[in-house]
Protein backbone atom coordinates (compact mmCIF):
# COMPACT_ATOMS: atom_id res chain seq x y z
CA UNK A 1 0.00 0.00 0.00
CA UNK A 2 1.43 3.38 -1.04
CA UNK A 3 0.54 6.05 1.54
CA UNK A 4 -0.34 9.56 0.37
CA UNK A 5 -1.95 12.38 2.40
CA UNK A 6 -2.33 15.96 1.19
CA UNK A 7 -5.43 17.71 2.61
CA UNK A 8 -6.77 20.63 0.59
CA UNK A 9 -5.76 23.35 3.05
CA UNK A 10 -2.10 22.44 2.53
CA UNK A 11 -2.14 23.87 -1.02
CA UNK A 12 -3.11 27.24 0.42
CA UNK A 13 -0.54 26.84 3.19
CA UNK A 14 2.21 26.24 0.64
CA UNK A 15 1.34 29.40 -1.33
CA UNK A 16 1.31 31.49 1.84
CA UNK A 17 4.61 29.95 2.96
CA UNK A 18 6.24 30.91 -0.33
CA UNK A 19 5.16 34.52 0.21
CA UNK A 20 6.36 34.62 3.82
CA UNK A 21 9.70 33.06 2.94
CA UNK A 22 10.67 36.28 1.15
CA UNK A 23 10.57 38.14 4.51
CA UNK A 24 12.34 35.38 6.45
CA UNK A 25 15.95 35.26 7.59
CA UNK A 26 16.18 31.68 8.85
CA UNK A 27 13.94 28.67 8.36
CA UNK A 28 13.53 26.66 11.54
CA UNK A 29 12.55 23.21 10.29
CA UNK A 30 11.12 21.08 13.08
CA UNK A 31 11.72 17.37 12.49
CA UNK A 32 10.85 14.21 14.37
CA UNK A 33 14.20 12.96 15.64
CA UNK A 34 13.06 9.38 15.02
CA UNK A 35 12.68 9.90 11.24
CA UNK A 36 14.25 13.25 10.31
CA UNK A 37 14.69 12.65 6.58
CA UNK A 38 11.49 10.71 5.99
CA UNK A 39 9.75 13.64 7.71
CA UNK A 40 11.61 16.43 5.90
CA UNK A 41 9.18 18.03 3.47
CA UNK A 42 10.85 18.50 0.05
CA UNK A 43 8.57 21.50 -0.57
CA UNK A 44 10.21 23.28 2.38
CA UNK A 45 13.60 22.41 0.92
CA UNK A 46 12.61 23.84 -2.48
CA UNK A 47 11.15 27.04 -1.04
CA UNK A 48 14.13 27.89 1.12
CA UNK A 49 16.64 27.09 -1.61
CA UNK A 50 14.78 29.31 -4.06
CA UNK A 51 15.10 32.15 -1.54
CA UNK A 52 18.59 31.01 -0.43
CA UNK A 53 17.59 30.89 3.21
CA UNK A 54 19.70 29.07 5.83
CA UNK A 55 18.08 26.37 7.91
CA UNK A 56 18.15 25.42 11.58
CA UNK A 57 17.06 21.79 11.69
CA UNK A 58 15.46 21.06 15.06
CA UNK A 59 15.28 17.36 15.83
CA UNK A 60 12.37 17.32 18.25
CA UNK A 61 11.15 14.44 20.44
CA UNK A 62 14.76 13.54 21.11
CA UNK A 63 13.66 11.80 24.31
CA UNK A 64 11.82 9.24 22.14
CA UNK A 65 14.66 8.63 19.67
CA UNK A 66 17.67 6.33 19.78
CA UNK A 67 20.53 8.52 21.08
CA UNK A 68 23.12 6.91 18.81
CA UNK A 69 20.99 7.51 15.71
CA UNK A 70 20.34 11.10 16.77
CA UNK A 71 24.06 11.79 17.13
CA UNK A 72 24.59 10.43 13.61
CA UNK A 73 21.89 12.71 12.19
CA UNK A 74 23.25 15.81 13.95
CA UNK A 75 26.70 15.09 12.55
CA UNK A 76 25.23 14.53 9.09
CA UNK A 77 23.25 17.78 9.01
CA UNK A 78 26.01 19.90 10.51
CA UNK A 79 28.22 19.00 7.56
CA UNK A 80 25.78 20.62 5.12
CA UNK A 81 26.32 24.25 4.03
CA UNK A 82 23.99 26.87 5.55
CA UNK A 83 22.54 24.26 7.89
CA UNK A 84 22.82 23.83 11.63
CA UNK A 85 21.19 21.01 13.60
CA UNK A 86 20.19 20.60 17.22
CA UNK A 87 18.30 17.89 19.11
CA UNK A 88 15.71 19.00 21.67
CA UNK A 89 12.50 18.21 23.47
CA UNK A 90 10.05 21.02 22.69
CA UNK A 91 8.49 20.49 26.11
CA UNK A 92 11.68 21.62 27.87
CA UNK A 93 12.14 25.41 28.14
CA UNK A 94 15.89 25.03 28.52
CA UNK A 95 16.15 23.20 25.21
CA UNK A 96 13.96 25.70 23.36
CA UNK A 97 15.91 28.64 24.83
CA UNK A 98 18.94 27.58 22.77
CA UNK A 99 17.24 28.06 19.42
CA UNK A 100 17.35 31.85 19.06
CA UNK A 101 21.11 31.93 19.61
CA UNK A 102 21.70 29.13 17.12
CA UNK A 103 19.51 30.78 14.50
CA UNK A 104 21.34 34.06 15.06
CA UNK A 105 24.59 32.38 13.99
CA UNK A 106 22.98 31.60 10.63
CA UNK A 107 21.98 35.24 10.10
CA UNK A 108 24.57 37.39 11.93
CA UNK A 109 23.52 40.51 9.99
CA UNK A 110 20.11 40.55 11.76
CA UNK A 111 21.08 41.48 15.29
CA UNK A 112 19.36 44.65 16.52
CA UNK A 113 15.98 46.33 16.93
CA UNK A 114 16.24 47.91 13.49
CA UNK A 115 16.86 44.55 11.84
CA UNK A 116 15.13 41.94 14.04
CA UNK A 117 15.84 38.28 13.37
CA UNK A 118 12.87 36.80 11.49
CA UNK A 119 12.37 33.06 11.95
CA UNK A 120 9.89 30.90 10.04
CA UNK A 121 8.86 27.74 11.91
CA UNK A 122 8.09 24.94 9.46
CA UNK A 123 7.62 21.17 9.45
CA UNK A 124 5.26 18.33 8.77
CA UNK A 125 2.06 17.80 10.80
CA UNK A 126 2.18 16.50 14.36
CA UNK A 127 5.94 16.98 14.70
CA UNK A 128 5.67 19.26 17.73
CA UNK A 129 5.72 22.75 16.20
CA UNK A 130 2.82 23.97 18.32
CA UNK A 131 4.41 22.65 21.51
CA UNK A 132 7.64 24.36 20.47
CA UNK A 133 5.86 27.67 19.91
CA UNK A 134 4.04 27.53 23.25
CA UNK A 135 7.25 26.74 25.12
CA UNK A 136 9.20 29.43 23.26
CA UNK A 137 6.61 32.18 23.83
CA UNK A 138 5.86 30.94 27.39
CA UNK A 139 2.14 31.00 26.86
CA UNK A 140 -0.43 29.11 24.80
CA UNK A 141 -0.33 30.63 21.32
CA UNK A 142 -0.85 27.48 19.26
CA UNK A 143 -3.34 24.64 19.53
CA UNK A 144 -1.77 21.33 20.50
CA UNK A 145 -3.33 17.99 19.62
CA UNK A 146 -2.44 14.35 19.04
CA UNK A 147 -3.84 14.46 15.52
CA UNK A 148 -1.97 15.80 12.49
CA UNK A 149 -2.89 19.13 10.85
CA UNK A 150 -4.24 20.87 13.96
CA UNK A 151 -2.72 24.23 12.92
CA UNK A 152 -4.19 25.50 9.64
CA UNK A 153 -3.03 29.13 9.35
CA UNK A 154 0.10 31.20 9.87
CA UNK A 155 0.68 33.18 13.04
CA UNK A 156 3.22 35.98 13.53
CA UNK A 157 4.57 36.69 17.01
CA UNK A 158 6.88 39.58 17.88
CA UNK A 159 8.72 37.84 20.68
CA UNK A 160 10.97 40.84 21.33
CA UNK A 161 12.17 43.93 19.43
CA UNK A 162 14.95 41.73 18.08
CA UNK A 163 13.10 38.48 17.35
CA UNK A 164 10.04 37.68 15.23
CA UNK A 165 8.54 34.19 14.91
CA UNK A 166 6.16 33.07 12.18
CA UNK A 167 4.45 29.75 12.92
CA UNK A 168 3.16 27.90 9.85
CA UNK A 169 0.74 24.98 9.43
CA UNK A 170 2.22 21.52 9.19
CA UNK A 171 2.60 20.61 5.54
CA UNK A 172 2.98 17.30 3.78
CA UNK A 173 3.71 17.08 0.07
CA UNK A 174 1.57 15.85 -2.85
CA UNK A 175 3.49 12.66 -3.60
CA UNK A 176 5.55 10.62 -1.13
CA UNK A 177 8.19 9.11 -3.38
CA UNK A 178 9.29 6.18 -1.22
CA UNK A 179 6.78 3.76 0.31
CA UNK A 180 8.98 3.34 3.39
CA UNK A 181 8.74 7.09 4.07
CA UNK A 182 4.96 6.90 3.99
CA UNK A 183 4.98 4.04 6.48
CA UNK A 184 7.44 5.81 8.78
CA UNK A 185 5.28 8.93 8.71
CA UNK A 186 2.16 6.90 9.42
CA UNK A 187 3.83 4.97 12.24
CA UNK A 188 4.77 8.26 13.89
CA UNK A 189 1.26 9.68 13.40
CA UNK A 190 2.22 12.43 10.96
CA UNK A 191 -0.44 11.23 8.53
CA UNK A 192 -4.17 11.09 9.22
CA UNK A 193 -5.59 7.64 10.00
CA UNK A 194 -8.07 7.94 7.15
CA UNK A 195 -5.16 7.56 4.71
CA UNK A 196 -3.65 4.39 6.20
CA UNK A 197 -4.43 0.84 7.26
CA UNK A 198 -3.20 0.53 10.83
CA UNK A 199 -2.43 -3.18 10.55
CA UNK A 200 -0.11 -2.63 7.56
CA UNK A 201 1.65 0.24 9.32
CA UNK A 202 2.13 -1.89 12.43
CA UNK A 203 3.59 -4.74 10.38
CA UNK A 204 6.07 -2.28 8.82
CA UNK A 205 7.01 -1.02 12.28
CA UNK A 206 7.35 -4.56 13.61
CA UNK A 207 9.83 -5.34 10.83
CA UNK A 208 12.09 -2.48 11.94
CA UNK A 209 11.76 -3.48 15.58
CA UNK A 210 12.67 -7.08 14.83
CA UNK A 211 15.74 -5.99 12.90
CA UNK A 212 17.06 -3.23 15.19
CA UNK A 213 15.30 -3.37 18.57
CA UNK A 214 14.28 -6.97 19.31
CA UNK A 215 15.30 -6.56 22.96
CA UNK A 216 12.75 -3.77 23.38
CA UNK A 217 9.99 -5.92 21.89
CA UNK A 218 10.83 -8.76 24.25
CA UNK A 219 11.06 -6.48 27.27
CA UNK A 220 7.69 -4.89 26.57
CA UNK A 221 5.58 -7.89 25.57
CA UNK A 222 7.44 -10.84 27.04
CA UNK A 223 7.06 -13.29 24.15
CA UNK A 224 9.74 -15.32 22.40
CA UNK A 225 10.76 -13.79 19.06
CA UNK A 226 12.28 -17.00 17.66
CA UNK A 227 10.88 -17.70 14.21
CA UNK A 228 8.64 -14.63 14.13
CA UNK A 229 8.36 -12.36 11.13
CA UNK A 230 6.77 -8.88 11.21
CA UNK A 231 3.22 -10.20 10.84
CA UNK A 232 3.95 -12.78 13.52
CA UNK A 233 4.94 -10.00 15.93
CA UNK A 234 1.54 -8.31 15.55
CA UNK A 235 -0.17 -11.67 16.01
CA UNK A 236 1.92 -12.33 19.11
CA UNK A 237 0.92 -8.95 20.55
CA UNK A 238 -2.72 -9.87 19.92
CA UNK A 239 -2.35 -13.19 21.76
CA UNK A 240 -0.39 -11.66 24.63
CA UNK A 241 -2.90 -8.86 25.15
CA UNK A 242 -6.02 -10.94 24.56
CA UNK A 243 -7.07 -9.14 21.40
CA UNK A 244 -9.87 -11.38 20.12
CA UNK A 245 -12.79 -10.71 17.80
CA UNK A 246 -16.13 -11.25 19.55
CA UNK A 247 -18.14 -14.18 18.30
CA UNK A 248 -15.39 -15.30 15.91
CA UNK A 249 -14.20 -18.42 17.68
CA UNK A 250 -11.05 -16.94 19.16
CA UNK A 251 -9.90 -15.21 15.96
CA UNK A 252 -7.24 -12.58 16.65
CA UNK A 253 -8.18 -8.89 16.48
CA UNK A 254 -5.11 -7.73 14.57
CA UNK A 255 -6.39 -4.17 14.18
CA UNK A 256 -6.56 -3.75 17.96
CA UNK A 257 -3.13 -5.34 18.37
CA UNK A 258 -1.74 -3.03 15.68
CA UNK A 259 -2.93 0.02 17.60
CA UNK A 260 -1.36 -1.31 20.81
CA UNK A 261 2.01 -1.64 19.06
CA UNK A 262 1.75 1.75 17.35
CA UNK A 263 0.65 3.51 20.53
CA UNK A 264 3.49 1.95 22.52
CA UNK A 265 5.97 3.17 19.90
CA UNK A 266 4.50 6.68 19.60
CA UNK A 267 4.38 7.24 23.35
CA UNK A 268 7.89 5.95 23.97
CA UNK A 269 6.57 3.10 26.09
CA UNK A 270 8.53 0.64 23.92
CA UNK A 271 11.73 2.60 24.47
CA UNK A 272 13.88 5.04 22.51
CA UNK A 273 13.53 4.01 18.89
CA UNK A 274 14.64 5.63 15.62
CA UNK A 275 13.11 4.41 12.39
CA UNK A 276 16.01 5.54 10.22
CA UNK A 277 19.68 6.48 10.39
CA UNK A 278 21.88 8.17 7.78
CA UNK A 279 23.21 4.71 6.88
CA UNK A 280 19.78 3.08 6.58
CA UNK A 281 18.57 6.05 4.54
CA UNK A 282 21.48 5.72 2.13
CA UNK A 283 20.81 1.99 1.79
CA UNK A 284 17.12 2.57 1.08
CA UNK A 285 17.84 5.16 -1.60
CA UNK A 286 20.51 2.96 -3.15
CA UNK A 287 18.02 0.10 -3.36
CA UNK A 288 15.43 2.40 -4.92
CA UNK A 289 17.86 3.61 -7.60
CA UNK A 290 20.20 0.76 -8.52
CA UNK A 291 23.48 1.86 -10.02
CA UNK A 292 23.24 5.41 -8.69
CA UNK A 293 25.16 6.79 -5.74
CA UNK A 294 22.85 7.51 -2.84
CA UNK A 295 23.12 10.19 -0.19
CA UNK A 296 20.97 10.09 2.98
CA UNK A 297 18.57 12.90 2.22
CA UNK A 298 15.11 13.39 0.75
CA UNK A 299 16.00 16.17 -1.67
CA UNK A 300 18.98 17.79 -3.36
CA UNK A 301 22.04 18.37 -1.24
CA UNK A 302 21.81 21.37 1.09
Per-residue pLDDT reduced to its tens digit, 104-149:
999 998 877 788 999 999 999 889 998 999 999 988 876 654 444 4
Per-residue pLDDT reduced to its tens digit, 27-61:
999 999 999 999 999 989 998 988 899 999 999 99
Q: Decide yes or no: CATH 3.40.50.970 for domain 9-167.
A: no
Contact yes or no for 15/111 (Cβ under 8 A): no
Any idea where the domains of the chain sit in the sequence?
A: 9-167, 179-288
Question: What pLDDT, on a 0 to 100 scale, did the predictor assign at position 190?
Answer: 87
Question: What pLDDT, on a 0 to 100 scale, did the predictor assign at position 39?
Answer: 95
Regions in the chain scoring below 70 on pLDDT: 1-11, 13, 142-153, 195, 290-302
Q: Decide yes or no: CATH 1.10.1580.10 for domain 179-288.
A: yes
How far is it, in rounded angstroms, from Cα 223 to Cα 233? 9
Dihedral sign for Cα atoms in the order 87, 90, 91, 94: positive
Question: What pLDDT, on a 0 to 100 scale, did the predictor assign at position 7?
Answer: 52
Cβ-proximal residues to 267 (8 Å cutoff; 6+ apart), any chain: none
155-160 β-sheet, strand order: 83-87, 55-60, 26-32, 117-123, 163-167, 155-160
Amino acid sequence: MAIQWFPGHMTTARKKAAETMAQTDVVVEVLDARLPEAGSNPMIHELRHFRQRPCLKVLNKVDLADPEATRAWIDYYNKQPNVMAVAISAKKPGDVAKLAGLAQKLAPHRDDAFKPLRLMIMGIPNVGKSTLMNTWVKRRVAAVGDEPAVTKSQQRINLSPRLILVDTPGMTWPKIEHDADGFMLAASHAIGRNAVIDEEVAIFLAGILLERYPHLLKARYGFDLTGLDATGVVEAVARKRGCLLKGRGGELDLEKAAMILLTDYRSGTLGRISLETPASRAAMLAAAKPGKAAAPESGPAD
